[in-house]
Structure 1
């Protein structure tokens, strides 16, 4: 029974390893987040080994602990890893699809609000553009001719020059 728990520890470490590996691949983690994930994986694997080695032989370190956990890990990687990896990726994809569906459900009221606000926004936009064009015609165009008008007024203030 003791050897069974040691092998189970190796299998469970393999399951956690595949979980972290597939999650990292699915999320496309960069090197810094990958380092943090590796630290987290190491802590989880240490906790699993601690709990199962304690159950197996009260943490008495024996040589079969190492060989049994390696045997469990190798058995897992050779037999179950590819199936569980596919399963993890399918679960991640299903979660992503459910989240997209949830976000679409939340966005329905906002889309309705956008649809309701289109006509008032269009009227307000048209009125703003009309006000801008009227202001441009009444204020801006006369200001363009102001420097020329000031020069002409200044010339009229002085008597004409004679070259002579």
Structure 2
């Protein structure tokens, strides 16, 4: 009966965890395979301990009876406990996340003035470079084209 109760506890854990996480069909399939492997391991260990893996009819019926009794009487209470545990974990993770954000927000607040100065300086240097370098080069290109046009003989059609 203990094997059935243990399998029921693991079953409820996987069922509630899957509902809490909102798993899709592929991950659910993987979780079901993992549950099957864990249930098989539990049954194997307890059957080995009970009677050296000699599968008797009463072992299987006892496991089924333990599972049915667990699902009938204890499952709903343990499901509530699991969901409360998941809610506690969620709240602790949110608290941890907020605790990490406090120094990050402080760093952002401290770095805002130097960043604004650097941004202004880089924009100023860009505009100066544009005025000092780009405009003379663009004017030089236009003046070279004009000089070449004047020196080259005109085209004649024919």
Q: Normalising by structure 1, what TM-score?
A: 0.78
Q: Does 2:5 match 1:15?
A: no
Distance 1:56 1:157, change over 3 A: closer
Query: Which consecutive residues of structure 1, in runs of 5 or more, have no partner in the other structure?
Result: 1-6
Residue 120 (structure 2) aligns with: 126
**Equivalent-residue separation in structure 2 for 1:150 and 1:144 (angstroms):** 10
Distance 1:150 1:68, change over 3 A: same
| Equivalent in 140, 143, 159 of residue 137 of structure 2 | 143
| Equivalent in 88, 91, 94 of residue 88 of structure 2 | 94
Residue 107 (structure 1) aligns with: 101
**Equivalent-residue separation in structure 1 for 2:25 and 2:98 (angstroms):** 32
- How far is the alpha carbon of 1:20 from its aligned partner? 1.1
Q: Does 2:74 match 1:80?
A: yes
| Equivalent in 25, 43, 66 of residue 49 of structure 1 | 43
Distance 1:21 1:159, change over 3 A: closer
**Equivalent-residue separation in structure 2 for 1:95 and 1:83 (angstroms):** 18
**Equivalent-residue separation in structure 1 for 2:130 and 2:73 (angstroms):** 78
Residue 54 (structure 2) aligns with: 60
Q: Normalising by structure 2, what TM-score?
A: 0.81
Give the stretch that moved more between structures: 41-50 or 94-103. 41-50
| Equivalent in 27, 42, 58 of residue 21 of structure 2 | 27
**Equivalent-residue separation in structure 1 for 2:38 and 2:152 (angstroms):** 95
What secondary structure sits across from 1:82 in the alignment?
helix
- How far is the alpha carbon of 1:117 from its aligned partner? 0.9
- How far is the alpha carbon of 1:54 from its aligned partner? 4.0
Give the stretch that moved more between structures: 35-44 or 131-140. 35-44
Q: For this pair of structures, how many residues does the alignment match?
A: 155
